[in-house]
Amino acid sequence: MDSYVSFGCSVIGPGHIKSGKPNQDSFLLKKYKNGWVAVVSDGVGSKPLSHIGSAAVCRSVCNVMHDYLNSSKSADIKDVLRLVHSRWLFDISPNLADDCCATVLFAVVTAEKIILGRLGDGMICCRNNHEDTLLLDDKTDSFSNVTKCMRYKFIYDDWYVKEIPVHDFEYVVLTTDGISDDIPSDMLPSFVKDFVTEYSTEKTGIRTKKIKQMMIDWPVPMHSDDKTIACLVNRGDK
C-alpha cells in the first residue's frame, strides 16, 4: 500500500461567507499500519455547532477504525458503527448532540477488503476491479428537509455500508453534497475519474492550491454550499 497517495481540500461556500458562518465541512485522511481511512463529514446547516460535529465525526471514525484495523478479532460492522457514534458523543461533549448534527462518509481500504459507509447525503465513488461503486443518497425518496446524520440516538438502519474485496484498486473519492448535488448522478464517475487523473500526479502544495481554486471557481451558477473532497489513489508505479 506504499503506492497510495491521499489528498483533499475543503472550501467554505459563498452562502456561509455571506452569513458569517464557518465552513461546516470536515475531512481526514489517515494511513495506519494495516490500512487507510478516509472520512468526509458535512455539518447540518440548521444546527449551530455542526462544524464541531463534523470535525468530531472525522476524528471518531479514524480512532475507531484504527482500533478495528489493529484488532485480531472480527467485529460486526454494527458494533463498529455504534462505537463510532459513542466516540462522537464523547468528542462533542459538553455540547448537545442535536446542536452538532453531521453526515458521515467513510472508506477503509486494507490489503484484503474495502469498507464503504454512508450516513446522510454526499457521495462515495470507488474504482476497484475495473468497476465503479457509487454510493449516493437518493433524495427523491425522502423529504427535502430531513437529513440522516449523527444525532443523539444511534439508528443502524439509517446507515448504508458496503464491503467489497480488494482487486485492482484504483481510487476512492468522497465528496459532500456541495459537489455531488451539482453534478448529474450518471456523470459522477466520469467527474471523479477526470479529477483523479488531473490531480493525483501533482506535487502536494501545487495540487492543493489548484483544487482549492477549482472549488472556489465552481462553474455552477448561484452555488452557495461548502465543498469538500477527499481522495485515496493507488498510483502504482507512476
Tens digits of residue pLDDT in 121-151: 999 999 998 999 999 986 655 444 568 999 9
- Written out in words, the top-level CATH class of the domain with range 4-234 is alpha beta
* Rounded-to-integer distance, Cα 122 and Cα 62, Å: 19
* Mean pLDDT rounded to a whole number for the chain: 92
Give 27's strand partners.
40
Chain position carrying cell 484484503: 112
Q: What is the model's pLDDT at position 214?
A: 95
Percent of the chain past pLDDT 90, that is, above it, reads: 80
What was the pLDDT predicted at 211? Answer: 96
pLDDT for position 97: 97
Q: What is the mean pLDDT of residues 174-181?
A: 95
Helices 188-199, 204-216: axis angle to 10 degrees equals 140
* Confidence at residue 146, expressed as pLDDT on a 0 to 100 scale: 65
The answer, yes or no, to whether residue 73 has pLDDT greater than 90, is: no
Q: What is the pLDDT of residue 105?
A: 98
pLDDT value of position 139: 63
Question: What whole-number distance in Å separates Cα of residue 222 and Cα of residue 31?
Answer: 37
**Residue-level pLDDT at 145:** 52
Q: Which residue has the cell 474485496?
A: 165
What local confidence, expressed as pLDDT, does residue 140 receive? 57
Strand pairing partners for 114?
A: 109, 164
Q: Which of the four pLDDT bands, split at 50, 70 and 90, describes residue 75?
A: confident
Q: In this structure, how many other beta carbons lie within 10 angstroms of the beta carbon of residue 22?
A: 13
User: pTM for this structure?
Assistant: 0.93
Confidence check: pLDDT of 45 > 90: no
Contact 122, 174 (CB under 8 A): yes
Cell of 163: 464491503
Residue ranges per structural domain of the chain: 4-234
Cell of 184: 448529474
Task: Answer with the residue of higher pLDDT: 211 or 72.
Answer: 211
